Amino acid sequence: MSAQKLLETDVADVFGPDAKCEGPLAESGLGVRLSGIDLSQPLRPAQVTFLLDTLSRARLMCIAGQDLAQFSLNHFERFANHWGAPIPHPSNYLRGGKPAQQNGATGGEIEYLPYEARKTAAANATLPEELACLPHESPAVLIASNLLGRVQSNTPTLKPGGSWHTDVEYEPLPIYVSMFLAHHTPTARSAHGGTWVNAPTDESAHPYFEDSDPELLALRTQLPLNGETCYADTAAAFAALPPERQAALEQVRVRRRLNDEDEGWLAPLVRTDPRSGIKSLHSPVWASRPRIRPTIEVDGMDAEASRAFLDEIEKHVLLPQFRYNHLHKPGDVTIWNNYMTLHNSPPILTDINSVDDARLLYRLSCKGAPALSLPREDDPSWLASHVVGAYKTPPEILELAATMGK
């Protein structure tokens, strides 16, 4: 029996006869889509084990069709606790008095932003009669949206996509998984090619450095046009390399830093998934956040050599055979392993005045060991060292009953 048939049989055994599995979703073998699973219900240890094992092999997993009338953001955060400790997103706090996305004091005091200063408030003010965020207060929930506040213009603006990266790879303990819950996705297809948006035509409409290698830049900026999140399969990219190249890369260490003045730390470029044993390139990007975070240095190389070395790896990873554009559908929970993938945000329309152009997702990220049962039992000193503000999901969220609002 094939691996896919085994997975289809296992998901029905673990979650019941209505549970189905489809995959792989990409040419590289990346991705599975599960359906018939209600995540508003508490999970049994065997179910959590199945999901953990599936992600360790598939790298990306979509659990489709959650009922947003029942599945709240509290349910979403409770589910995330199985994957690791949820991490407050940098958009939701200040570090040393400055927005945490800026280059500021690494050890600065953490101050969570009030609700009215977060992206949620702006999103709710954009199309107030038609679309509002699901209620929540957690600093771990990021609003990923083109709902940026009420505007006067009747002409939407095209915003280019982001840069290829993994989430919070610049901390000593990087983020293990991230996940989206899709609330609303663009349905308009009024661009020239029948897509939501036109491809950006301005050659400078990207976040990368001006002297980037043209071939690499072309790969970086080939982004989807219907609001999909784009992924690159760094496990498949590593497996495609000759064995001697793989062995050499396994010896490479890179210095990562949160801010320019930090000494930083050495981290492996290749990681091995502890559940599946699959090896992958972890964030092999010289400048994953140009002009925001420091560039990466390869141990034993100067800045120029580091850039050339890592740019060649990124060029390999972003080849079409390792790429996958994931089209979100409302109610889908999509989870990806940050050690085994890169991802990027697509071009979007801003200053929108129609709900048909709205893109509204919620993101949570987790680090540390998974937990088969809840509540998590993270050591307080571990939380203080690795989780901003030593954040813990409140007990009332973990104790949710299966009905909304409890």
Spatial CA neighbour of 33 closest among 76, 57, 3, 64: 64
- pLDDT for 6 equals 59
Contacts of 365 (CB under 8 A, 6+ apart): 86, 87, 89, 140, 167, 168, 175, 177, 178, 179, 338
Q: Are 86 and 364 in contact (CB under 8 A)?
A: yes
- pLDDT for 348 equals 97
Q: Are 23 and 11 in contact (CB under 8 A)?
A: no
**What is the DSSP annotation of 259-308?**
STT---EEEESEEE-TTT--EEE----TTSSTTTSPPPEETTS-HHHHHH
Could you give the residue ranges of the DSSP H alpha helices within 62-212? 73-80, 119-126
Report, in angstroms and rounded to the nearest whole number, the Rg of the chain calculated over CA atoms: 21
- pLDDT for 1 equals 41
Kindly give the parts of the chain with pLDDT less than 50.
Answer: 1, 402-406
Q: Are 64 and 331 in contact (CB under 8 A)?
A: yes
- Count helices and strands in the chain by DSSP H and E runs: 10, 21
Q: Are 220 and 318 in contact (CB under 8 A)?
A: yes
Question: Residue 247: which H helix or E strand, with range?
Answer: helix 243-249
CB atoms within 10 A of CB 28: 23
3-state SS class at 44: coil
Q: What is the pLDDT of residues 52-101, one digit of tens each?
A: 999 999 999 999 999 999 999 999 999 999 999 999 998 999 888 887 77
- Give per-residue burial for 362-372: e unless 16+ CB within 10 Å, then b: bbbbbbbebbe
Topology of the domain comprising 3-389: Double-stranded beta-helix (3.60.130)
- pLDDT for 154 equals 77
Spatial CA neighbour of 329 closest among 31, 65, 58, 33: 65
- Residue 223, by phi and psi: left (phi above 0), alpha (psi -120 to 50) or beta? beta
- Give per-residue burial for 286-305: e unless 16+ CB within 10 Å, then b: bbbbbeebbbbbbeebeeee
- pLDDT for 94 equals 87
Contacts of 356 (CB under 8 A, 6+ apart): 186, 187, 188
Residues paired with residue 348 on neighbouring β-strands, in sequence order? 159
CA distance 145 to 142: 9
- pLDDT for 3 equals 64
CA distance 334 to 356: 22
CA distance 375 to 355: 38
Spatial CA neighbour of 219 closest among 315, 289, 286: 315
- The greatest distance separating any two alpha carbons of the chain, rounded to the nearest whole angstrom, comes to 59
Spatial CA neighbour of 363 closest among 130, 139, 100, 179: 179
Query: Could you tell me how far CA 20 lies from the centroid of its own chain?
Result: 24
The two tokens of residue 135 are 């209620």
- Give per-residue burial for 53-62: e unless 16+ CB within 10 Å, then b: ebbbbbbbbb
Q: What is the pLDDT of residues 118-168, one digit of tens each?
A: 899 999 999 999 999 999 999 999 999 999 998 767 789 999 999 999 999
